[in-house]
Amino acid sequence: MIFRQLFEPDSSTFTYLVACPDTGKAALVDPVLDTVQRDLSMLQEMGLELDYTIDTHVHADHLTGARRLRELAGSRVAYPAIDELPCADIGIREGEVFRIGRLELYPLFTPGHTSHHHAYLIDNGTQQMLFSGDALLIDACGRTDFQSGDAATLYRSIQEKFFTLPDATLVYPCHDYEGRFVSSIAQEKARNPRLGGGKTLEEFVAIMDKLDLPYPRKIDFAVPGNERCGECPDNVPEQYRAACEQRDQG
């Protein structure tokens, strides 16, 4: 398996390249509009064909690069089927293996951060890798106070879908704000301040209720834009329009 972890600093978003070495077929998990040219250059240098973009959910903190990559590379846009997004080419469902060349990606329905969130599990030949999206972060988890989020639902998703995986499973989140890159199921079960150490549902809900997090600075344009697979809405503020204008300028 070919794998790269990529980072967009403004939103602290990780994008993951997963590719089949036998066929040269590739997918980008959670691509960002701002880094489309970087990703295309990397794919070209590696001699890979971008077959899919795969989002874990409708993001509130950045615009996805899915639509732009489809326009420029001919890739197909994959989203959780539960979203029923008209702009998506493929709907992803738990229980249905998603293939990238000869690689097999296993979707896991993990609501709680959003009502439609999915994570993706893949075997790299040595151990399992979990692309946990915003559901499980390193020493944290996604917030649950918007987009139909629900703390109790997130707790059950993590306990039943993630913490039942082998301890050696690597955890690759969609974001990290502290310069970290990877965790493991064993580590998160043991030391995650919100979920680890056997915290109960009641303890977790109380922690999430007291977070008092600020209003997401991009949510007002990111959510409607991502419901159209990364189309730039008219209300994108000037300081964030550079990525949108790259397309406008051809």
The arithmetic mean of pLDDT across residues 230-241, rounded, is: 96
Residue 122 identity: I
Say how many C-beta atoms besides its own lie within 10 A of residue 31's C-beta. 31
Residue 209 pLDDT:
97
The tens digit of pLDDT for each residue in 71-102 reads 999 999 999 999 999 999 999 999 999 999 99
The tens digit of pLDDT for each residue in 156-179 reads 999 999 999 999 999 999 999 999
Alpha carbons 116 and 135: distance in angstroms, whole number = 11
Residue 247 pLDDT:
59
Alpha carbons 30 and 48: distance in angstroms, whole number = 18
Rg value, the chain, Cα:
17
The tens digit of pLDDT for each residue in 22-58 reads 999 999 999 999 999 999 999 999 999 999 999 999 9
**Where does the pLDDT of residue 223 fall: very low under 50, low under 70, confident under 90, or very high at 90 and above?**
very high
153 token code pair: 């639902």
CATH architecture of the domain with range 2-235: 4-Layer Sandwich (3.60)
Residue 250 pLDDT:
39
The pLDDT of residue 111 is above 70 = yes
**Where does the pLDDT of residue 249 fall: very low under 50, low under 70, confident under 90, or very high at 90 and above?**
very low
User: What is the pTM assigned to this prediction?
Assistant: 0.97
Of residues 111, 118, 87, 114, the one with CA closest to residue 225: 87
Mean per-residue pLDDT of the chain: 96
Residue 246 pLDDT:
78
**Where does the pLDDT of residue 248 fall: very low under 50, low under 70, confident under 90, or very high at 90 and above?**
very low
* Contact between residue 65 and residue 53 where contact means Cβ atoms under 8 Å apart: yes
